[in-house]
């Protein structure tokens, strides 16, 4: 993540952020792990004009420490409710402090796993979701948290996606089926499986799981304005199994899901060899992509191609939730936390995507 954006880059990013209409309710932006780069990139995005209309859900002391790190004389205002942002003078960083945050977060060392940071990150997420459910926010943008800090705090979910799914459960207790999508201007990838060991992920590649992913991806893309999304399905095995020579998941699980999706009116194709399908789907100058989305079977199969194209523009979108949620596609970057050199590009992109999806 190292590198500060130059003036030209900052102006370009501000232009991208402002082309989407500002939602009536504020975007809620969770601070992430207090010892990571989340607070720093939030402050940087605010200073660059990309976070206008956002309310930080987090700790005031942590956000003031991040502002001091960047040498910014930035007023940080504590709100009684997210809606109170409307009364703030221009330029203030608005922070709503949820109940139950551990004390002394701004005194913890940068770049170290701490259960208090994990507990605070989880409390911010839960409080932000409750506010969204009450109509007090338009969308959720989450700064990076640390999975080991979550575990140290005794939080029962391995990451954002699983936690948000549980918090969005219906009154009868049934959580909505969700999927992770990583996207940038050139490639969008939706995952069938996410934060599980690879051995378990392979077991989870079933016809039902692939078909459900296709339905979720199709419905989400239609909400973005694609009348008939073109979805490519990547295989699991080398060469998509090579007719069963290298594995039979394609023949027994994935191909039947593609056929069922097509029968339901979804323009799904595949399974294709996973080492080439992403190149076919990439939408770049002089190379219009053949597909609007790629469905990949496992976490690294799908995320490596998107991240290789540029972490700084990647955005994580959780599909299937009853509210919009986006985040940067990087982690807490403990190795550079506290040095003042973290790049806010991916956060700026996440905010822009949230506005786009709200207005769509």
> Measured between alpha carbons, how far is 344 from 44 in angstroms, rounded to an integer?
6
Q: For the chain, what percent of residues have pLDDT higher than 90?
A: 76
Residue 300 lies in a domain: yes
Residue 13: pLDDT band (50, 70, 90) is very low
Residue 315 lies in a domain: no
Same structural domain for residues 166 and 298? no
pLDDT of 245: 86
Same structural domain for residues 116 and 212? no
What average pLDDT does range 92-114 have in this prediction? 96
Residue 201 lies in a domain: yes
Q: Is the pLDDT of residue 149 over 50?
A: yes
Same structural domain for residues 120 and 36? yes
Tens-digit pLDDT profile for residues 38-72: 999 999 999 999 998 899 999 999 999 999 999 98
Same structural domain for residues 25 and 78? yes
Same structural domain for residues 135 and 35? yes
**What CATH number is attached to the domain comprising 268?**
3.40.718.10
Alpha-carbon torsion, ordered 248, 251, 253, 259, to 10 deg: 170
Same structural domain for residues 54 and 29? yes
Same structural domain for residues 143 and 202? no
Residue 237: pLDDT band (50, 70, 90) is very high
Same structural domain for residues 243 and 273? yes
> Measured between alpha carbons, how far is 50 from 351 in angstroms, rounded to an integer?
7
Same structural domain for residues 278 and 134? no
pLDDT of 333: 95
- Positive/negative CA dihedral, 127, 149, 174, 140: positive
pLDDT of 6: 35
Q: Is the pLDDT of residue 21 over 80?
A: no
Residue 316 lies in a domain: no
Q: How many C-beta atoms surround the C-beta of residue 245 within 10 A?
A: 10
Q: Which domain holds residue 347?
A: 1-176+321-360
pLDDT of 23: 52
Same structural domain for residues 93 and 193? no
Q: Is the pLDDT of residue 22 over 90?
A: no
Residue 215 lies in a domain: yes
Q: In what order do the strands lie in the sheet with 54-57?
A: 76-79, 93-96, 54-57, 27-30, 139-142, 325-328, 315-319, 179-183, 188-191, 293-296, 230-234, 267-272
Tens-digit pLDDT profile for residues 315-350: 999 999 999 999 998 899 999 999 999 999 999 999
Same structural domain for residues 298 and 334? no
Residue 173: pLDDT band (50, 70, 90) is confident
Which residue do the tokens 């992430």 mark? Answer: 32
Q: How many domains does the chain have?
A: 2
Q: Is the pLDDT of residue 14 over 60?
A: no
What average pLDDT does range 178-199 have in this prediction? 93
Give pairs for 80-84: CB < 8 Å, separation 24+: 81/136, 82/25, 82/26, 82/28, 82/55, 82/57, 82/131, 82/136, 82/137, 83/25, 83/26, 83/136
> Measured between alpha carbons, how far is 286 from 295 in angstroms, rounded to an integer?
24
Residue 216 lies in a domain: yes
> Measured between alpha carbons, how far is 141 from 125 in angstroms, rounded to an integer?
10
Same structural domain for residues 82 and 219? no
Tens-digit pLDDT profile for residues 246-279: 989 999 999 999 999 999 999 999 999 999 999 9
Question: For residue 107, what are the contacts with CB-CB under 8 A and spacing of at least 6?
Answer: none
């Amino acid at each position: 993540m190292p590198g500060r954006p130059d003036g030209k880059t900052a102006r370009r990013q501000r232009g991208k952020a402002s082309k989407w209409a500002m939602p009536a309710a504020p975007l809620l932006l969770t601070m992430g792990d207090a010892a990571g780069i989340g607070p720093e990139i939030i402050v940087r995005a605010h200073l660059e004009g990309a976070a206008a209309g956002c309310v930080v859900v987090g700790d005031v002391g942590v956000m003031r420490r991040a502002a001091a790190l960047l040498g910014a004389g930035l007023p940080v205002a504590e709100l009684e409710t997210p809606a109170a942002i409307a009364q703030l003078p221009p330029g203030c960083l608005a922070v709503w402090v949820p109940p139950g945050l551990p004390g002394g977060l701004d005194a913890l060392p940068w770049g170290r796993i701490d259960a208090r940071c994990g507990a605070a990150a989880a409390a911010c997420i839960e409080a932000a979701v409750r506010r969204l459910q009450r109509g007090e926010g338009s969308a959720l943008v989450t700064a990076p948290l640390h999975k080991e800090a979550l575990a140290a705090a005794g939080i029962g979910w391995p990451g954002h996606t699983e936690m948000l799914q549980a918090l969005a459960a219906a009154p009868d207790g049934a959580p909505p089926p969700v999927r992770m999508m990583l996207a940038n201007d050139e490639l969008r990838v939706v995952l069938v499986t996410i934060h599980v060991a690879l051995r378990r992920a392979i077991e989870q590649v079933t016809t039902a799981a692939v078909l459900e992913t296709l339905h979720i991806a199709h419905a989400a893309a239609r909400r973005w304005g694609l009348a008939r999304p073109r979805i490519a399905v990547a295989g699991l095995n080398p060469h998509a199994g090579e007719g069963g020579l290298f594995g039979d998941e394609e023949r027994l699980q994935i191909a039947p899901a593609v056929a069922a999706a097509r029968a339901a009116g979804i323009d799904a194709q595949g399974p294709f060899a996973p080492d080439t399908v992403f190149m076919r789907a990439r939408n770049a100058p002089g190379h219009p992509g053949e597909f609007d989305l790629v469905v990949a079977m496992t976490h690294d199969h799908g995320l490596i191609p998107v991240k290789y194209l540029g972490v700084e523009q990647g955005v994580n979108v959780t599909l299937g939730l009853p509210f919009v949620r986006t985040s940067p596609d990087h982690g807490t970057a403990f190795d550079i936390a506290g040095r003042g050199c973290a790049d806010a590009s991916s956060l700026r992109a996440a905010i822009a995507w949230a506005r786009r999806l709200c207005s769509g």
